Amino acid sequence: MDARLSRRLLAEGLGTLLLLAVVLGSGVMGERLAGGNAAVALLANTLATVAGLYVLIEVFGPLSGAHLNPAVSLVMAWRGRLRVRECAPYVLAQLLGALLGAWLVHAMFALPLFEVSTRLRSGAGQWLAEGVATCGLVLVVLRAPPARAAGLVAAYIGAAYWFTASTAFANPAAVFGRMFSDTFAGIAPASAASFVAAEAGGAGLALLLHRALGTPGGATAATAATEGRGHGEQP
């Protein structure tokens, strides 16, 4: 493995670790401080996620494209913005980062380190919500102006926390990591496969919609991730 790919994989793994730490950690803190008020806990979780996601995209975007999400990496590979042979290492780095992020949160909050979530999230409404959330996220990634991609992605996820029934996981790596945390933001393994399937469907629909809408003015966020502010070279 060459040094440039190693650095990009490190960026993806570390970025996903920190993303899960933000999502899960703010969920734990919000629940502890909200006094049983789920709306306040979700608001705290949302604000922390929006801020954290924006920073992570800005910091890791120039290194790896800041996918932090297997659905995004697969879409980038499909569109030729990521080498196909690099897609699997990207996804593995993201999954490992998500697991380590969950363990980090548990260590910080003195929770059991090895834990499996019992929080069931199922039903047609939740599955539809995950498809919608992921479709919107991937569409924003594909069409956002490069200079505004971080803010638009973070803002969309913040909104989707509230307008979707599933609170917008929109990320198979997040689903994986959140299985190992029986906290406010966790998801039971029994619910995970359906969420990931819905996310895959949403990502596929986003690709179709992007094609139907035509090329936006200027470079897309996907292009920026590899050409302008991504790897610094064509993948």
Length of the chain: 235
Average model confidence (pLDDT) across the chain: 91
Single-letter residue type at 14: L
Low-confidence ranges of the chain (pLDDT < 70): 1, 216-235
pLDDT of residue 215: 79
Rounded Cα distance between 175 and 40, Å, is 23
Looking at CATH, the fold of the domain delimited by 3-228 is given as Glycerol uptake facilitator protein (1.20.1080)
The 3-state secondary structure of 118-132, one letter per residue: CCCCCCHHHHHHHHH
- How many CA atoms lie less than 13 Å away from 21 in the CB half-sphere? 18
Helix, strand and coil in the chain, % to nearest 5? 70, 0, 30
Residue pLDDT, tens place only, 152-173:
999 999 999 999 999 999 999 9
- For residue 224, give both structure tokens: 């920026």
Query: What are the domain boundaries of the chain?
Result: 3-228
